[in-house]
Structure 1
Amino acid sequence: MLRGIPAILSPELVKTLMEMGHGDEIILADGNFPAASLAKRLIRSDGHTIPDLLQAIIPLFPLDHATQGPAIVMALLPNDPTPEVWETYRTLIKPYESTFTDFAFEERFSFYDRALQAFAIVATGDRSFKGNLILKKGVVRS
């Protein structure tokens, strides 16, 4: 164990976050997401929720300021309600990312295509409606 690294972050996840470069993407996937069939690198985190993981990751992980959408969620269908968890994500991201205004939205099958190119997918047991979240890594500024 190390000081300052939340216990929820497995050694494999910390290593993956460290290996990622500017522009690489990681997906925090809910329990319904086809993570195993889409992932180049699959990290299991089944007993955790996406908000809990995001809370641990976002203080360590700079979002990409060079793009309009460094945090991406799956677009809603016409009759879908707005997922409550999205407000939780906003609340967790904003204190660490002053330029973050809102999510970019990706149509479901485009989201899956994007997952095929992601650096890694973290499979959680989260049951939130439309809880999947893509984070695009930025650079650490001194």
Structure 2
Amino acid sequence: MLKHTLVHPQINEVLGRAGHHSKILIADGNYPAYNTLGPNAELVCLNLTPGIVSCTDVLKVLLTAVPIEAANTMGIPDDDPYALEGDPPIWNEYRSILSDADCDVELEPIQKWDFYDAVASRDHVLTIQTADQALWANLLLTMGVRKPGEL
């Protein structure tokens, strides 16, 4: 019986095979998830209807299952038609969730095209496609290590 809150069998399988530096993309409902998979990545679609399941739901559950050493958002080009003034509201939600989970990582944007390259890398093991409608909600997590004595 699993002790963490992640019960999705395919996601657990991929995470169980992954290791340090593996990358997990939590994709919003607008992200082209299928055609941006890395060569070693699997796609799990949790997009039931607009807004369900959200990126924040997925992040909360993943934080119970794996250590995270980096969290990257997709940087917003100044000339992008969907650019916002300041950080998108969801980024503050991510910061709060990471803090509440005692995950001591800073949210770091990666420029949009570099973000796509990071997702296309061989370290990318999993994309979880959500139905989140928030703009700029894509979040690329890098798995950390389990420290000696941690359960």
> What TM bracket, shorter-length normalisation?
0.7 to 0.9
Aligned to 1:72: 72
**Equivalent position amino acid for 2:135 in 1:** F
Cross-structure match for 1:4: 3
Report the equivalent of 1:138: 144
SS, match of residue 58 in structure 1: helix
- Cα distance change, pair 57–98 in 1 and its aligned pair in 2 (3 A): closer
**Compared CA separation, residues 99 and 5, structure 1 to 2 (3 A):** closer
Aligned residues, how many? 134
**Other structure's SS at 1:88 match:** helix
Residue identity opposite 2:109 in structure 1: F
Unaligned runs of 5+ in 1: 65-69
Matched residue of 2:100: which SS?
coil
3 and 62 in structure 1: CA distance in 2 versus 1, 3 angstrom threshold? closer
The equivalent position to 1:111 in structure 2, one of 89, 94, 115, is 115
**Aligned equivalents of 1:131 and 1:74: distance in 2?**
8
Q: Structure 2 regions of 5+ residues with no counterpart?
A: none
1:31-50 → structure 2 map (5 Å cutoff): 31-39=29-37, 40-47=41-48, 48-50=53-55
Shift of 1:19: 1.3
Judge conservation of contact 2:5–2:65 (CA < 8 Å) in 1: no
CA-to-partner distance for each residue in 1:79-137, whole Å, 9 max, x for gaps? 5232111111111112334532x212111111111111111111111111100000000
What secondary structure does 1:51 align onto?
A: helix
Which AA in structure 1 matches 2:30? N
Residue 68 of structure 2 contacts residue 143 of structure 2 at CA under 8 Å; is this kept in 1?
A: yes
Please give the secondary structure, in 2, of the residue aligned with 1:54.
helix
Moved more, 71-80 or 132-141: 71-80
Distance (Å, rounded) in 1 between the aligned partners of 2:84 and 2:45: 28
Q: Identity rate of aligned residues, in percent? A: 23
The residue type paired with residue 114 of structure 2 is S
Aligned partner of residue 28 in structure 1, secondary structure: strand
Give the strand-richer structure, 1 or 2.
Answer: 2
Segment of structure 1 superposing worse, 126-135 or 110-119: 110-119
Whole-angstrom distance in 2 between the partners of 1:18 and 1:88: 27
TM-score, scaled to structure 2: 0.81
Query: What TM-score do the two structures reach when normalised by structure 1?
Result: 0.85
